[in-house]
Amino acid sequence: DAGVTQSPTHLIKTRGQQVTLRCSPISGHKSVSWYQQVLGQGPQFIFQYYEKEERGRGNFPDRFSARQFPNYSSELNVNALLLGDSALYLCASSQGSASNQPQHFGDGTRLSIL
């Protein structure tokens, strides 16, 4: 079975632009979470969606938004990009909200802001 798939793999943007990152969860997984990982740090939680509803939000500004579609895929949008948004953006899926099952990560999207 396919794992979590993310697109694109790499992206270069300039300050002030907007970006959309995409994620398809493992088949049968209904929960998708987004994380930001900057170099040398552990991933930081951004959002969690389950059954198309936001179930959790991390300490990120309103420039960050996300949504989940009926097929459980998800998009992360970031507006008014700043240099500090340069990071690896990770999507993780699990079977259900608070299912006590582990999350599995995709390969990530590496976003560079010039």
State the minimum distance, in angstroms, from the CB of residue 16 to another protein.
28
84: nearest Cα among 2, 13, 1: 13
Mark 10-49 with x for binding to another protein (rule: CB under 8 A) and - for no binding: ---------------------x-x-x----xxxxxx--x-
Q: How far is CA 52 from CA 11, 39, 45, 110, in A?
A: 26, 30, 18, 25
Give the C-alpha distances (Å, rounded to integers) separating 24 from 13, 27, 57: 23, 9, 19
Q: Exactly one of 56, 61, 72, 75 binds another protein (CB under 8 A); which one?
A: 56
Place of tokens 């994380």: 35
- Kindly state whether residue 94 participates in binding another protein, applying the rule CB under 8 A: yes
For binding to another protein (CB under 8 A), which residues are involved? Answer: 31, 33, 35, 40-45, 48, 50, 55-56, 58, 88, 90, 92, 94, 97-98, 100, 102-108
